A and B are shown apart, each in its own frame.
Chain A
């Protein structure tokens, strides 16, 4: 560590602990509210960022959601040729969707009756944000990060996912800037469905690999 890094870690965070500061009579809950506003105001005042930057970024993030990933999965289910290209090179294959991929490349892994894939990032919380939106809290939790790699079947059970004993689990610890997307098994009874119809069965959790895709609702008997 550089001297500056040591100083930051040893003393800097004390300075940032405003809730202990008599000048700011705030409780713990407001600590980070104040901190984020103070840093934003400071950056704008110093001309480091413009006021519009933060708003623009929030709008961009709002435009990301798991719908993007669901469209990719639905097309792979409906179109064997696309599926083949997607599994061979995810980054190239999704170019036809015009989805920006930020800092990462995409690797798509297919669930079969033999193997179930799930994705974790044990070292931080790497996640394919551009196609799934912001990660859920559980994905970033210490629990999911610590347990997924060595007791995946128990973790899956907590999501209500009971795999057959003969299905092996492949856990992808996404520790580099390759982003993993699980291609879940296509539910039975969806032959001939259109891509938009199929996409409705593709949940976020099924693309992280902690749940299967949603079963189609059975038609009520008439």
Chain B
């Protein structure tokens, strides 16, 4: 020790520090703490540490605040994308690795989800790690839930003949770590059954994809 500064016990250091917090400085400290807290929340990872299961409980295609008929596939995709409960879709059961959308539309067995293209448009684009598993609906093997466009004929509005108008499932893959898997769905009557842009990390298998509204072929 080459100088005369006394060694202050820890308790004394605390007391010294506390003594320096004058009454006049407290508002500034509280404001700073709140600011740090807000910034901290903003900087939290966008996803939960634990993945969750989201259960589709209705074959009605809806997007209604308050739940409506239950959790629709449309609302479930929004819940997955936003990592939050949404319009009756509860992220309540921890999934194994990534978010999973399952189907438990009573009673079990094949159901048809008719996408309301006219009022709601295509289903939301899937843009996060997610598994959509049609096998969860139960019923006979080979009878997965059906996702179909509205029965009314919709015109192809795009001037680009290569760009589809109606899409069954719209998937945005990633060059990152996202993994999106679509299993055991029957997807029909769209211009494009499954549209994948940026295909890295996307797995599509065990599905029956049949669109074919416009050509009127068998």
User: Is B truly associated with A?
Assistant: no
Binding site for B on A (CB under 8 A): none
